[in-house]
Amino acid sequence: MKHFFRHIFLAALLSVSYTVIAQTPRQVLDKAVHLITSKGGATAQFTVKANSLNARGTIYLKANKFYASTPQAAVWFNGKTQWTYMKGTNEVNISTPNEAKQAQMNPYKFMTLYKSGYQLSMKKAQGKYIVHLLAQNKKRSIQELYITINRNTNKLTEVKMRQGAAWTTLSIHKIVSNKLSDSIFTFPSKDYPKAEIIDLR
């Protein structure tokens, strides 16, 4: 009888251990999101590749807000309005971007995407989780994503997304948690007094 209870206890312990170790795609993404939302934001270095576009830059993130800067442009998004400053022409385009436009500059746009409207699956590869998101609605602007997360740190390393037949890849090189002021995500017009403002809303 003693051995019987010992086997039952060990089986239960193994079951609990497996439950803790085995994670769902949603849990993996939840942890990656938590890293930049629990402390008021984060900064990261990134590379974006899409068709002929190949740019490096720095991005500041907080919830659904971001500020991204590359050698060619700077983009501010306060959760509703986006300002895009083109350094070569000294122009500022003001817009209300859809999810695809936001995601092209913000690798953490998936924070709001994966929670509804997508079928999630996941595989493991060389210390990483690769989460696949497939849109349930064929009219969704972003139809498919592959999100790569480091299994040891829970940090995002890459986002590949498909809009129509075109793929955009955003690679993340460094992520540092930080406390960011909301003012960072609004265009500082006083710093660009001679810029031409083009309102596309």
The whole-number average pLDDT for the span 106-127 is 84
In degrees, rounded to 5, the angle at the alpha carbon of residue 173 between the alpha carbons of residues 97 and 108 is 30
Model confidence band, residue 1 (pLDDT cutoffs 50, 70, 90): low
Q: How far is CA 63 from CA 39, 77, 111, 134, in A?
A: 11, 11, 8, 23
Q: How far apart are CA 125 and CA 40, in angstroms?
A: 30
Q: How many CA atoms lie within 13 A of 161 on its CB side?
A: 25
pLDDT at 156 over 50: yes
> How confident is the prediction for the chain on average, in pLDDT?
84
Helix residue ranges, H only, 90-131? 99-103, 110-113
The whole-number average pLDDT for the span 145-162 is 92
Tell me what percent of the residues of the chain surpass a pLDDT of 90.
46
154 torsion bin: left (phi>0), alpha (psi -120 to 50), beta (else): left
- Model pLDDT, residue 164: 86
Q: How many CB atoms lie within 10 A of CB 39?
A: 14
Tell me what percent of the residues of the chain surpass a pLDDT of 70.
84
4-56 pLDDT per residue, tens: 444 444 444 344 433 445 689 999 999 988 877 766 888 999 898 888 778 88
41 torsion bin: left (phi>0), alpha (psi -120 to 50), beta (else): left
64-108 pLDDT per residue, tens: 889 999 888 999 999 899 999 999 999 999 999 877 777 766 766
Does the pTM surpass 0.85? The reply is no
- Model pLDDT, residue 183: 94
pLDDT at 140 over 70: yes
Model confidence band, residue 3 (pLDDT cutoffs 50, 70, 90): low
- Model pLDDT, residue 105: 66
- Model pLDDT, residue 11: 46
